Amino acid sequence: MTSTAGTHAPMALRALALSKSFGDVVAVDDVNLDVQPGEFLGVLGPSGCGKTTLLRLVAGFERPDGGGIEVGGRAVAGPRRNLPPEQRRIGMVFQESALFPHLDVAGNIGFGLPRRGRETRVAELVALVGLAGLQHRMPHELSGGQQQRVAVARALAPDPALILLDEPFSSLDATLRSQLRTEVREILRSAGATTLFVTHDQGEALEISDRVAVMRAGRIEQISTPEELYLRPVNRFVAGFVGEANLIAGEVRHGEVQTIVGRFRAPVGSLVDGDSAEVLLRPEQLHMRALDLLETPPRPESVLRVVRRVFHGSEVHHVLRNPDGIEIEAATSSSATLEIGTEVIAHARAHEVPVYPLDEPA
Amino acid sequence: METVAPPTAAARSASRTPAPPAWLIGAGVLVALLGLLPIGYLLVLAGSSEDALSLVLRDRTVGVLGRTLLLAATVTSASVLIGVPMAWLTTRSDLPGRRWWTILGILPLVVPSYVGGYAVVAAFGPRGALQSLLEPFGVTRLPELYGFPGAALALTLFSFPYVVLSVRGALLRMDPAYEEVSRSLGRGPWRTFFTVTVPQLRPAITAGALLVALYSLADFGAVSLLQFDSFTRAIYVQYRASFDPTLAAVLALMLVACTAGVLLAEARLRGRARYHRSGAGASRPAATVHLGAWRWPALAYCAMVVGLAVAVPIGTIGYWFIRGIGAGEPLTLVLDATLNSVLASGLAALLAVLASIPVAVLAVRHRGMLAATLERATYAGFALPGIVIGLAFVFVAARYLPWMYQTLPLLLVAYLVRFVPEAVGITRASLLQVSPRIEEVARTLGRPPSAVLREVTLPIIRPGLMAGGALVFLTAMKELPTTILLAPTGFDTLAVRIWSATSEGFFARAAAPALLMVIVAALSLGFVLRQERDR
């Protein structure tokens, strides 16, 4: 058995240089990952990025081509061993609830439990997921949300070392979805479960995860807290994938990136005068001012015209276009919108924002 | 994993499916080998004989081939000529009583060929019902029935509904817009029918015709009762007459070659038919054609077809049944045969369903070369006429397993080979309904694959397994040639009883089992139609 470094409790999940290809498609490429006990880790990425394969490798449904996996300090997959799923102490919840249609709620929850003490444990879990009184319903007699709660209870019942959620809310409609994800998060928190949660929905990942791993083309691009991911994405891909992003090009002069919406500090060392770079500005970081309120006339390329408005409830996003055709998006509260056609300049109050050199591959 | 990089899509699906457990492969291979045994052994038998090729070219053999093909061609064309108008009248016209004609036009399918043969002989043959009815008028002889005319008549009457069913389906699916466009471009109803409708129906007509052709190639009951020397009867006669199995094996292989030819043609034409089908969602019904005065000939036509194919057999069976009761025909014999039929068919159904499980699981959950090969080998039973399977097992048992010859277990093995494809079809369809995620969840909850199959998959697909079992049971009840060749001495089933009584001219003795058989066949037809509707 491989021991983990340090004297602390072992990681709930550890992936070491994990790789998996299907033919010449590399699905998971040298992935390293540590999940702390009790942590809720979101794995976020576009479809086909390898996040589901990562989950299936951890569960034991796929055999890695290289690297290893430890669950609770115990090696479950590696060069010399590959434990089958039934020996990994892992609970799994799928997008389709995948309840056993021939068993009732109690039968589903108790499926992974030894006969002794089964009833007590089932009753505990039924109460935990708030389905008391429905033990003897069959799956088809439950609503979509109830089915997913049963699926969560069933995964939790044998007290697994790790819970894997594979897009568990995608098949539900929007309202139910946000309600259920809060509930499920609460259930897992109170059970003290360690969770790996795969989703392509960035809002969902940011909302309920302790940390989020963003994947692209089989690789993990960044693992951070949701705040860090939103405010300081490591590259343009993460910036664009997490939240709405304006990537505004500029040129470095005197240690600053000069753009049509202002000047921003260029990171020391990586950029020199004359380099091209992009700065990341979220729509809510940009402020607009109508031209006629300005004291000094702006440079012509900074003049932006409101070409479209997108209503988001509490906020309204204004799509702005400059004479060169560059479009950026700025948010205001819905009570302070500007008419389409208004000419404005935009600026950001922040001076230190993420800057990405433009010669770096995207 | 592999050193050579194969095409992406194939590699992806190949490595996405986990390797099946050894016991599953073992069971699947066993079933597949059984499926290949008949044809394999016949090939060995024919191949080991030096004069096999000369047997093929012998006058008698060539004559049998010619007669078989002539029969198949005649029955197929006649079925198309009868079936297409019937299908059109019951879907597109205002024929009075259209719905009744629809049902009556399909009903002949419930008459197994040997019951049909029996009905034809017992109605129109010498000493048959028609002659007895005409006797008071001095009619002592009817035109000769035995041989080609009787066989062609019996097979056509009880297989033309295959054409009706497939053409009906096509007419109902067809988008009426094509015909409307043709009319709007100035073509009258007749020209539109022949230049627009018929070309679109061609795939459906071909599909139905090929089913009829297969049916008449494989049929043993009708041709043997009507004493027409096509392959199936020649094989049987040869087998009875001599201990040298070579000629029978050669005949059987030639019959299989004919069947394979028809199946290949069907596969190719069916592929094209799919290509021809117009886009989905053409559910708007076509306008009904008003027959006007044409309705009288149309009615007469339907009445004649249905009269011959439904009223005659039912009437004949009823006539002889009543005469049999009057003459004190013992019904205990029927009870005996029924019990034998139920026993053999029930066990066959059980075996076929059990055997279908490994094959279907491999085909659905572990797709790949191995699974596809096993599944195809299993389907061999579909392509082989019953007489061929029966013959092969007779030879195998006589040579290697004399202690099994003419025992119930050997009969059941032959039934298994013959009917496992039906069970695999249904088991496979039900497995496809079960999400693999459900099985994966069970794995994570601590169950190895065998326990997942036992505790999760099989309980979920139980209704499908029961349905497959019921279908095999009903089909096995009707099976004649395999039973004749392999049943233990004295183990008469309903099918054998009908056949032997008819062969010997005891029409009244055959009536009660024939009646029972029509009921069984009606149940199985209803069952198949319901399955198709649910799909």
Q: Give the residue from chain A lying closest to B447, CA to CA.
A: A86
HSE-CB of B255 using CA atoms within 13 angstroms: 35
> Which of B522, B26, B49 has the alpha carbon at shortest distance from B251?
B49
Asked if the model's pLDDT at residue B8 lies above 50, the reply is no
- As a whole number of angstroms, the distance between CA A274 and CA A329 comes to 26
Contact list, B9 vs chain A (CB under 8 Å): 23
CB contact under 8 A, B435 and A60: no
pLDDT of B9 over the 60 cut: no
Q: Are A345 and A256 within one domain?
A: yes
Domains, chain B: 28-38+329-535 (1.10.3720.10), 58-110+156-306 (1.10.3720.10)
Closest CA to A77 of A5, A8, A164, A19: A19
**Has residue A326 been placed in a domain?**
yes
Find chain B residues with C-beta within 8 A of A62's C-beta: 16
Average pLDDT of chain A?
Answer: 89
Determine the Cα–Cα distance for residues B218 and B211; give it in Å rounded to an integer: 11
Which residues in chain A are closer than 8 Å to B447, comparing Cβ atoms? 86
Q: Which residues of A touch B17 (CB under 8 A)?
A: none
The two tokens of residue B247 are 């000629």
Query: Which among B6, B440, B460 has the least Cβ separation from residue A23?
Result: B6
Residue range B281-295: average pLDDT? 74
- Residue pair B465/B458 in contact (Cβ under 8 Å)? The answer is yes
Assess A140–B contact: CB distance below 8 Å, yes or no: no
A87 contacts on B by Cβ (under 8 Å)? 446
Which of these three, A240, A273, A308, is where a domain ends? A240
The answer to whether residues A331 and A265 belong to one domain is yes
Interface membership of A94 toward B (CB under 8 Å)? yes
Its sign, for the CA torsion B244, B248, B250, B252, is negative
For residue B128, how far is the Cα from the chain centroid?
28
Residue A215 bridge partners (DSSP): A220
Which residues, other chains included, contact A325 with Cβ-Cβ below 8 Å and sequence gap of 6+? Answer: none
Question: Chain B residue closest to A153 (CA)?
Answer: B445
Residue A45: give its domain's CATH number.
3.40.50.300
pLDDT, one tens digit per residue, over A25-73 is 999 999 999 999 999 999 999 988 999 999 999 999 999 999 999 999 9
List, for residues B61-95, the tens digit of each pLDDT value: 899 999 999 999 999 999 999 999 999 999 988 99
- Chain-chain contact of B448 with A155 (C-beta, under 8 angstroms): no
Distance, in angstroms, between B417 CA and closest chain A CA?
Answer: 31
Interface contact B433, partner A, CB < 8 A: no
Question: DSSP for B286-329?
Answer: PPPBP-GGGHHHHHHHHHHHHIIIIIHHHHHHHHHHHHHHHTT-
The Cα–Cα gap between B437 and A327 comes to: 44
Is the pLDDT reported for residue B6 higher than 50?
A: no
Nearest neighbour of A98 by CB, restricted to B437, B446, B448:
B437
**Phi (first) and psi of residue A218, to 5 degrees:** 85, -5
Q: How confident is the model at residue B270 (pLDDT cuts 50, 70, 90)?
A: low
Asked whether the predicted pLDDT for residue B276 surpasses 50, the reply is no
Which residues have a Cβ under 8 Å from the Cβ of B222 and sit 6 or more positions away?
Answer: B113, B114, B116, B117, B120, B151, B154, B155, B158
Q: How many domains does chain A have?
A: 2
Q: Which chain A positions have a beta carbon within 8 Å of B459's beta carbon?
A: 102
Question: What was the pLDDT predicted at B533?
Answer: 63
Q: Are residues A266 and A333 in the same domain?
A: yes
| Chain A residues touching B440 at Cβ < 8 A | 59, 61, 85, 92, 94, 98
User: Do A227 and A326 fall within a single domain?
Assistant: no
Q: How far apart are the first and last CA of chain A?
A: 40
**Per-residue pLDDT for B15 more than 60?**
no
What pLDDT sits at residue A7?
Answer: 52
User: CB A24 to CB B445 under 8 A?
Assistant: no
CA–CA dist B409, B412 (Å, integer):
5
Chain A residues touching B444 at Cβ < 8 A? 59-60, 85-86, 88, 90-92, 112, 155, 160
| pLDDT at B241 > cutoff 60 | yes
Helices (H), chain A: 51-59, 105-109, 118-128, 144-156, 174-190, 202-208, 226-231, 236-241
Query: Minimal Cα distance from A165: which residue of B?
Result: B441
Query: Among A22, A234, A312, A297, which Cα is nearest to B5's?
Result: A22
Tell me if A333 is assigned to some domain: yes
Q: Using the beta-carbon criterion (under 8 Å), do A96 and B11 form an inter-chain contact? A: no
**Tokens found for residue A130:** 């708030």
Distance of CA B232 to the CA centre of its chain: 15
| A97 found inside a domain | no
Q: Torsion angle, CA of A267/A270/A271/A272, rounded to 10 degrees?
A: 120
Residue entry with tokens 């892992």: A90
pLDDT of residue B16: 53
Are B158 and B309 in contact, with CB atoms under 8 Å apart? yes
In this predicted structure, the answer to whether residue B1 has a pLDDT above a threshold of 60 is no
A44/B231 Cα distance (integer angstroms): 67
Do A256 and A222 share a structural domain?
Answer: no
A269's CB contacts (< 8 A; 6+ apart) are none
Q: Maximum Cα–Cα distance for chain A, whole Å? A: 81
| Residue from the list B12, B442, B448 with its beta carbon closest to the beta carbon of A22 | B12
Cα angle B380, B386, B389; round to 5: 60
With an 8 Å Cβ cutoff, are B456 and A100 in contact? yes
Domain containing A312 — which CATH number?
2.40.50.140
Indicate the residue of B16, B18, B446 with minimum beta-carbon distance to A112. B446
Rounded to an integer, the average pLDDT of A182-211 is 93
DSSP SS3 for A293: helix
Q: Tokens standing for B318?
A: 């009823």
Please check whether residue B276 touches A, CB under 8 A.
no
Q: Are residues A198 and A264 in the same domain?
A: no
The pLDDT assigned to B275 comes to 41
Q: Are residues A73 and A208 in the same domain?
A: yes
CA–chain centroid gap for B59, Å, is 30
Residue A336 placed within a domain: yes
Indicate the residue among A240, A259, A285 that finishes a domain: A240
Range of the domain at A23: 13-89+160-240
Instruction: Tell me the chain B residues in contact with residue A98 when contact means C-beta distances shorter than 8 Å.
Output: 435, 437-438, 440-441
Tell which of A206, A240, A274 closes a domain: A240
Q: Is residue A94 part of a domain?
A: no
Q: Residue A253: inside a domain, yes or no?
A: yes
Place of tokens 């037809």: B525
Q: Using a CB-CB distance cutoff of 8 angstroms, which residues of chain A are in contact with residue B436?
A: none
Q: What is the mean pLDDT of residues A317-335?
A: 89
* Burial zone of B164 (CB within 10 Å; 0-12 exposed, 13-18 middle, 19+ buried): buried
B-chain residues within 8 Å CB-CB of A100? 438, 441-442, 456, 460
Give the H/E segment covering residue B229.
none
CB contact under 8 A, A154 and B445: yes
CB-nearest to A96 from B11, B437, B445 is B437
Same domain, A288 and A187: no
Same domain as A300, residue A274: yes
pLDDT at B13 over 50: no
In a domain, A258, yes or no: yes
B46: pLDDT strictly greater than 70:
yes
A68 shares its domain with A173: yes
Residue whose token pair is 């950029």:
A271
In three-state secondary structure terms, B154 is helix
Sign of the dihedral defined by the CA atoms of residues B361, B363, B368, B371, in that order = positive
Q: Note whether A166 and A293 are same-domain residues.
A: no
Tell me the average pLDDT across B195-224. 88
Choosing among A21, A63, A92, A100, which should be mutated to test the B contact, i.e. which has the most B CBs within 10 A? A100
Residue A309 shares a structural domain with residue A336? yes
> Closest chain B residue to A20 measured between Cα atoms?
B1
Cβ–Cβ of B445/A111 closer than 8 Å?
Answer: yes
Q: Is the CB of A48 inside 8 Å of chain B's CB atoms?
A: no
Give the mean pLDDT of B47-56: 78
The neighbour count for residue B314, using CB atoms within 10 Å, is 16
Greatest mean pLDDT among A106-110, B166-170, B293-297, B507-511: A106-110
Residue B519: phi and psi, rounded to 5, are -65, -45
A65 touches B at CB < 8 Å: yes
State both tokens at B227: 């004493």
Instruction: With beta carbons under 8 A apart, name residues in chain B contacting A59.
Output: 440, 444
As given in the structure block, the two tokens for residue B403 are: 């202690």
Report helix, strand or coil for A276: strand
Model ipTM?
A: 0.80
- pLDDT at B284 (0 to 100): 66
Q: Which residue of B has its CA nearest to A23?
A: B11
Question: What is the number of residues in chain A?
Answer: 362
Residue A180 lies in a domain: yes
Assigned token pair, A257: 């990136």
Residue carrying structure tokens 């649910």: B534
**B53 in A contact zone (CB under 8 Å):** no
| Each residue's pLDDT tens digit, B442-495 | 999 999 999 999 999 999 999 889 988 988 998 898 899 999 999 998 899 999
Alpha carbons B32 and A28: distance in angstroms, whole number: 38
Q: Is B440 on the interface with A (CB under 8 A)?
A: yes
A28 beta partners:
A20
CB B52 within 8 A of CB B46: yes
For residue B186 the two structure tokens come to: 């100035």
For residue B177, the model assigns a pLDDT of: 80
**How is residue A101 written in tokens?**
């249609």
Of A247-251, B134-138, B447-451, the poorest mean pLDDT is in B134-138
